[in-house]
Structure formats: C-alpha cells, structure tokens
Amino acid sequence: MELSTKVRDLLGSMSLAQKIGQVFVFTWKNPAQAQNDLRLYPGGYIRIFGDVLSVSRDSAGIQENAHIPLIIAADFERGIGGTIGGAIEVVQAMALGAARDAQAAFDAGQMIGREARLIGVNMDYAPVLDVNSNPRNPVINTRSFGSDPEIVALLAVEFMRGLQSAGVASCGKHFPGHGNTHVDSHSQLGTVLGSIEDLDNMELKPFRAAIAAGIDAIMSAHLHVPAVEPGAIPATLSRNVMTGLLRDRLQFQGVAVTDALDMGAIARNFAPEEVIPMAVNAGCDQLIMPHDPEFVVDVLTAAISRGDVSEDRLNEAVARILTLKERRGILSQTSSTAASVCQQINSVGHVARAQEIADQSITAVKNDGAVPLRIDDKILCLDITNWSGERSIFLEPHSFPDHLASGGWHVCSKNMPYPARNLEPWADDIRQQASRYDVVVLAMYAVIQLSSGNIGFSPEIIAAVNQAMGWNDGLQPRVVIASFGSPYVLGDFSRVNAALCAFSQTQASQRAMARALRGVIPAAGQLPVKL
C-alpha cells in the first residue's frame, strides 16, 4: 500500500513494542486503568459509558500522555446520549430506514460526528451494514436500516459520509453480514448459511457500496460463514474471509477491525493464545476489547518472536492504522475545552433536526381509523417491555405517556409488573379497568438485550396482554399499538385497531409517536422490513 511521508517516517521510528501495542484498542474502564495501560502503547481505547464532561476531560488527558495520538472509539450507532449522558440522540438505523431519506441519514451521521469530536471521540464503530433479513435476529434488528440491501447500502453510505464530514473515522459492521442469523454472537458462535452467490445478492451489497464510497474501516462478525470458510471458525479468525473475501475480492484497503474479543462467540470457543495470532494472520489490523491487555500484548510479542506472525504483517497492520489516523486528523487533533463542550453539545439545532428525523420515521402498519386520537378520548397507556435486567444497548426513560398527555390530553399510564411472572391478576385488572377508557395504547418496548438470544416478548407477556384485551360485553375501547422496538412483535397481538412503529426508543422517537397519535404529524414512514 502507498504510504505518506509522515506515516512512513512514523512507522520507521517505532519500536517493535510500539507497533505491537498499536494494533490493540483497549476498553476504557477508568482513568487510572487507561493511564496504566499506556505503557503497552495501545492504538486506542473504546468508551462504553460516561457523561460528556468526564469523557471530554478523560480524552484530553489520555491524549496528552500518549506517545502516538490515540483512537478514542465508541459505538455511536444512533446517537451519543444513550451511552454518554448529555449528548445528542437521534434514532435507531431502522427508523432512518423508515424515513427513507438520504439527507436525514447524512445529517444523523454528521450530528453524531460533530458531538463525538467535541468530547474527544474520533472513531465511530458505525454504521451497521447488516441487512436484517431474519426476523428472529436477536442482536441486529432495529440496529439495521432494514431488510432491503439497496436501502441499507444507500442510507448507510450517507450516514458514513456524515460522520466523515465531521472528522470522525467510520467503521462498517459486521462483515460479511450478521443480519441472517438467529444467534447473538455476544454469547454464541452463529452461522450464516447460503452460497457465495446468496451473500453477493444480499449481505455483501452494503459492504461493497461502503467500500466504494471510501469507508475507513470494516469490522468482522464472530460468525461462521461456510460458503467462504469450510472450517468451523468465525470470520474474525478466517483468512478466507478477512483476506480472501474482504481484501482480494472486495478490494478493501482500509483498516480491518475485529468485533470485541471478549464476546462469547470468541471467548468461549478459543483461547487468547490462539485468537490473537489467528486474527492478525487472518487479516485483522485492529483488535478491540481484549479481556487482559497485558496478556494479549505478550501473546502477540511471543508469536512474532516465534515467527508465527511475521513482522511484515505487523507493519502492514500498523501502516493502515496510522494512515487512518492521518486521514481523519487524529495525528494532529486538538482537544475541546469544557466551555466549548457545554456550549455546543446537544445544541438546539441538533435537537430540532433529530426531532424532524424522528417525526419522518413514524410508520402506520395498520389503522382502521383509530388514529389520530380525539382530544376528548380518555386514554389508558400500558407500558410493556421485554427488559429482564440484562444489559441493553440502550435503555432510556419511557416518557411516551407524558408526551402523549402534553396539551391537556387525559392519559393514565400503567406498567406491566416486573419481573413478568404471574401476570393473570394484572391482566384481569386491566380488562376490568379498560371499560372506563376510550382508547388503550399498548406502548411496546421490545429492546435488544445483549446475550439474551431473544428480542421478542415472552409467551407469558403475550398471553397476558391478549388476555387483558379480551373485553367483556359492553364498551370496547379502541386498541392502538405504539411500538418503540422490534416491529416483528406486532403479529403476536390480536384485537388491535391500529399499530404504529417508531423502530427506536430515543426521546425524539417517543415524542414523535405521541405527535403522530395526536394527529400533529402524519405517520408517513415506509415499512423498512417485511412483516
């Protein structure tokens, strides 16, 4: 690959230890841990949770002490505020798929990129390029732009361009496609079936488009792909996938990134001593979130010493990482001050544009005239969630009933008991109370829970809700579903007069749903998946 003079000189000045460290991105746990790990010369860190001021301060502090400017990465797929408090939230990718607006996708990426840069984050492990073709998919689902590869490609590329326009490196994921599986790779090693022709026609289309448009990095999937790799090993560790398919066939020249190495699909099936040299030899340049930083550095050092990994291969990986850092201005970046962060983060303009995008995404899947609601309707809003206490990618306050009640509407909100066990008394109580209301709104939050293996509602919840909707003779309230998560749950519920989807549970999405039910905005989105 062709290197700039700056990258060539920097690479030539680095010691072996500095090159080895450069391929790793460690998990940021706290400032003391991150400072300690600098002695390993990491290429960067990934932030998972925090608030805007502490992340901004931490980013500036760690960069001051780094030998080579660091990648500070994050998973900002649909905004920052879901994981870093105080910053912009937009909508999930599937909501952008429903809005079907390329400018909205670009603006979403650009807003996220601008605010990420403000807090010192310079690489976003987004967009999701997976085509959600399997309704049972428990971990991609609303993180995908939809089930049409052409729409996914179009919107993902615009989102990518928005990020890059703000100076943030973009990383498409999860190669060669995580949409057609029912297994969550956070816990298990799944398989993507189909021939290479099938992959070409579906999974690979968004990756080809992103590569042609100049995406900075591609993240691997911890999935077995028999059409490309006959051995029972995940794409992350397969040279057939990460070099043969990604480099040779798709002609990708950027940084190849592993998905997190602490995920179950890898950690439960392979020892770290195997994983590190296999990943590098497969063609991965950046290895993220290893469980034990010092140990994996020692493993790669020993592998190079034995000749199991060549120094030429290491130099190739480091050159790609340094080239990305140069292209996105990371080698010469400056830090934002606390004052500028407070002034610019979550700005009025960003919040307003995020609301416009959320408004565009609301989609009416069914409506027999029950929506819009009437101002004199008495509304019973039932909060129904699949959350079981496991880690969720995003978990925001359920503010929808309050948005629905704004302007003087009569709304009574009730939550399904948690945990969702022995629900018959609750269902009977709701059935009796419902006669006092004109409308029952089922606010459904079917959210992604990492490692759970399921994004739908349990049979107990489905049975209880349908039991609660089994009206006695007499007044029968209209029933409206307001879905903020997986759209695939709609088929589980009967006796519904209308069903609207937001595909996202951000505050903008919850406000948009309320506005659509009240008739303030049309539910003009287009269904981005097949139901």
Domain boundaries 5-342, corresponding CATH code: 3.20.20.300
Question: Which ranges of 345-423 would DSSP assign to H, the alpha helix?
Answer: 348-361, 400-405
Residue 493 has pLDDT above 90, yes or no: no
Report the pLDDT value the prediction gives residue 454, as an integer from 0 to 100.
67
Place of tokens 């931490």: 58
Round to whole Å and give the CA distance between 233 and 229: 7
Under the banding of pLDDT at 50, 70 and 90, the label for residue 398 is: confident
Query: Please, are residues 297 and 24 in contact by the beta-carbon 8 Å criterion?
Result: yes
Give per-residue pLDDT as tens, 436-467.
Answer: 999 999 999 987 766 555 678 888 999 999 88
Round to whole Å and give the CA distance between 69 and 469: 58
Place of tokens 């490196």: 169
As a whole number, mean pLDDT of residues 165-187 equals 87
Mean pLDDT of the chain: 92
Indicate which residue of 58, 107, 216, 259 is catalytic: 259
- The residue that leads in pLDDT, 180 or 365, is 365
Domain 362-517, CATH class in plain words: alpha beta
3-state helix, strand, coil in the chain (%, to 5): 45, 15, 40
Query: Please, are residues 120 and 59 in contact by the beta-carbon 8 Å criterion?
Result: yes
Residue 393 has pLDDT above 70, yes or no: no
Name the residue among 483, 497, 495 with its Cα closest to residue 531.
483
Round to whole Å and give the CA distance between 423 and 509: 28
Round to whole Å and give the CA distance between 416 and 383: 6
CA dihedral 294, 296, 297, 299 (to 10 degrees): 120
Residue 161 has pLDDT above 90, yes or no: yes
Report the pLDDT value the prediction gives residue 390, as an integer from 0 to 100.
46
Round to whole Å and give the CA distance between 363 and 527: 6
- Per-domain residue ranges of the chain: 5-342, 362-517
Indicate which residue of 174, 178, 186, 224 is catalytic: 186
Residue 193 has pLDDT above 90, yes or no: no
Supply the angle between the helices 102-118 and 149-165 in degrees, to the nearest 10: 40
Q: CB within 8 A of 401, min separation 6: which ones?
A: 381, 383, 411, 413, 443
Which of the 8 DSSP states describes residue 382? Answer: E
Round to whole Å and give the CA distance between 138 and 281: 30
Report the pLDDT value the prediction gives residue 417, as an integer from 0 to 100.
81
Under the banding of pLDDT at 50, 70 and 90, the label for residue 473 is: very low
5-342 and 362-517 in the same fold:
no
Residue 253, Cβ neighbours under 10 Å: how many?
A: 12
CA dihedral 31, 35, 36, 39 (to 10 degrees): 160
Least confident of 368-372, 409-413, 492-496: 492-496
- The answer to whether residue 186 is catalytic is yes
Give per-residue pLDDT as tens, 300-314.
Answer: 999 999 999 999 999
- CA 136, 140, 142, 144 dihedral sign is negative
As a whole number, mean pLDDT of residues 35-44 equals 98
Give the CA distances from residue 389 to residues 60, 90, 246, 441, in Å, rounded to whole numbers and listed in that order: 34, 24, 37, 24
Residue 474, Cβ neighbours under 10 Å: how many?
A: 6
